[in-house]
Homo-oligomer: A and B are copies of this chain.
Amino acid sequence: MSPRRLKSSTGQVNGIAPTLMLEKSSGIPLHKQIYSGFRAAILRGELVPGQQVPSSRALTVELGVSRFPILEAYAQLHAEGYFETQAGLGTFISRLLPVSNASSSPRIACIVGSRLASKQSERLPAFEETPWRYGQGAFALHQPALDQFPFRTWSQLVALHSRRPRADAFHHVDPLGLGRFRTAICSYLRTSRAVRCEPDQIMIVSGSQQALALTSRVLFDPEDPVLVEDPGYPLMRSVLLGAGCRLVPVPVDENGMNVSAAIELCEKARAAFVTPSHQFPMGSTLSASRRLQLIEWAERSGSWIVEDDYDSEFRYESKPISSLQGLDISERVIYIGTFSKVLFASLRLGYIVIPKDLVERFIRVRLAMDIFPPYLYQEVLADFMERGSFIRHLRGMRALYQKRRATLVDSLEKRFGDDLAIHGAAAGLHLCVTLPKGFHDLEVAAKAAEQHLWIWPLSSCYLECAPQQGMLLGYGNTPVEQVAKGVKQLQSVLSRCHA
């Protein structure tokens, strides 16, 4: 339907109105319907710049509605610049609107799959909805025992800080995070992880991923070479790929990253990213000699070490291994930790221990990235730590996971004997099982997912062509009574998979 000319009561042409289909029972206020009708007609080019629109009185008669909604719609159209008033003459479609845009030819939205985006986003792996990433239950990776979390204590603290937050919690927009929370973390790290730190070199972040992203922005520019463990953590590599770094993959053995090989491969690397407590995914521990060798290299070549201590709290055959950071007296280590594996992942809280002379750089980058962290969980977790609930929970979980791990190792050995090799069971929340030749772990993972077993394929952790196929089995959120059943199902999956 096209716009119609309205005549005044004296028969004079009195502006052009679009066809307005007003629906009184639609729930949308009349003024809004009128406003939208005019706006749409202008955008479609049915009303063009310079055209007169009916006076509000004329439109009242035409539409048979009260004048108020019309006046309100007109005021809005004026405010937004669609209408203009010419004194003594009336109201017109603004002549400042570009004519070409208001042409009557319909424009087709040019949604094609390949509009110009950045090269840096092109370098990142495409997003895939892989089932093992998002599944919940048996063997899922990086999931703590949610059913054992002390929600009662926790929610009391949450309620306390939510009812009437401290004014300074609201206003303390510190890019490092809440002071008392940093103090609590500092004292925990000194005691439990032998980290050398002060609260003012700790930055609260939304998890270890943000820590890695921040660190890479502070340290690297495109083309910088960086040493990474291979196999390693895929999302860590994404950070470096996004930053345009040149990744130098370093082999891993039962003593963690092969540091001699790393130095030989690229002595001038800007940094080395390591998971010394429990190498991801193989689970080995970086030996003391390699730790010292790595620190010596960093000092000599002016490089950095990024220590991702993602699940160091859980170690079953000795005390937790002290951090690499604590060995380093030349402040070459950036230490990253997270609460996701100890409490729960959707908490989104982690921390970075930053060498003192880099703190200001981290703040600059943080301000540009997301300014400062949300306050509530910082307050809650500070209390949780100060009251000892954190350490108690940790202790309880260590015992629980030890049991789950032992059950899983037993079940695997009973069912598979020497057919499967188990790696990295001394610590953490997962172990790695390598498959005999002829198996494809992606196929195994896909078939397992059909049985609601969430298994990460080892090959997805390799930067280069995977020399072995395997499965990462998480046991943090897999209760003892599910383990044997899960392993049995897994056996049946494998029997349908081998080459």
Q: Which of A37-78 contact B (CB under 8 A)?
A: 39, 43, 72, 75-76, 78
**A154 interface residue (CB < 8 Å to B):** yes
Is A110 among interface residues, defined by CB-CB distance under 8 A?
yes
Is A217 part of the contact surface with B, judged by Cβ < 8 Å? yes
Kindly provide the distance from the CB of A268 to the nearest chain B CB, expressed in whole angstroms: 11
Chain B residues with CB under 8 A of A39:
322
Q: Assess A125 versus B296: contact at CB under 8 Å? Given A369-B213, A373-B348.
A: no
Q: Are A364 and B107 in contact (CB under 8 A)?
A: no
Q: Are A155 and B163 in contact, with the CB atoms below 8 A?
A: yes
The answer on a CB contact under 8 Å between A374 and B360 is no
Q: Does B289 lie within 8 Å of A94, measured CB to CB?
A: yes
Contact assessment for A118 and B76 in the assembled complex, using a CB-CB cutoff below 8 Å? no
Closest partner residue, chain B, to A112 (CB atom): B357
Interface residues of A in 117-131 (CB under 8 A from B): 117-121, 124-127
B-facing mask of A179-212, CB < 8 A → 1, else 0?
0000000000000000000000000011101100
The answer to whether B238 and A367 touch across the interface, beta carbons within 8 angstroms, is yes
Cα A100 to Cα B243 with chains together (Å): 35
Q: Does A327 contact B (CB under 8 A)?
A: yes
Query: Residue A322 contacts which of B80, B207, B289, B344 (CB distance < 8 angstroms)?
Result: B80
Among the 9-residue stretches A16-24, A313-321, A383-391, A444-452, the one with 4 or more Cβ atoms under 8 Å from chain B is A313-321
Interface residue count for A (Cβ, 8 Å)?
A: 120
User: In the complex, are the beta carbons of A116 and B270 less than 8 A apart?
Assistant: yes
- Smallest CB–CB gap between A254 and chain B, Å? 12
Choose from B96, B125, B171, B368 the contact partner of A289 (Cβ within 8 Å): B96
Chain B residues, CB < 8 A from A374: 206, 346-349, 374, 377
Smallest CB separation, A283 vs chain B (Å): 14
Determine whether A310 belongs to the interface, using a CB cutoff of 8 Å to chain B. no
A361 within 8 A of B: yes
Of A218-226, A395-403, A433-441, A480-488, which stretch is located at the interface?
A218-226
Where the two chains meet, the residues of A that have a C-beta atom closer than 8 Å to any C-beta of B are 39, 43, 72, 75-76, 78-82, 94, 96-98, 100-102, 107, 109-113, 115-121, 124-127, 133-134, 136, 146, 151-152, 154-155, 158-159, 162-165, 167, 169-171, 173, 175, 205-207, 209-210, 213, 217-222, 224, 235, 238-239, 241-242, 255, 270, 285, 287-289, 291-293, 295-296, 299, 302, 317-319, 321-322, 327, 329-331, 344-349, 355-358, 360-361, 363-365, 367-377
User: Told that A76-B319, A110-B299, A348-B372 touch, could you supply 14 new A-B pairs with CB distance under 8 A?
Assistant: A43-B292, A79-B317, A80-B321, A101-B292, A116-B270, A117-B218, A120-B217, A127-B360, A136-B170, A155-B162, A169-B346, A210-B370, A242-B368, A346-B374
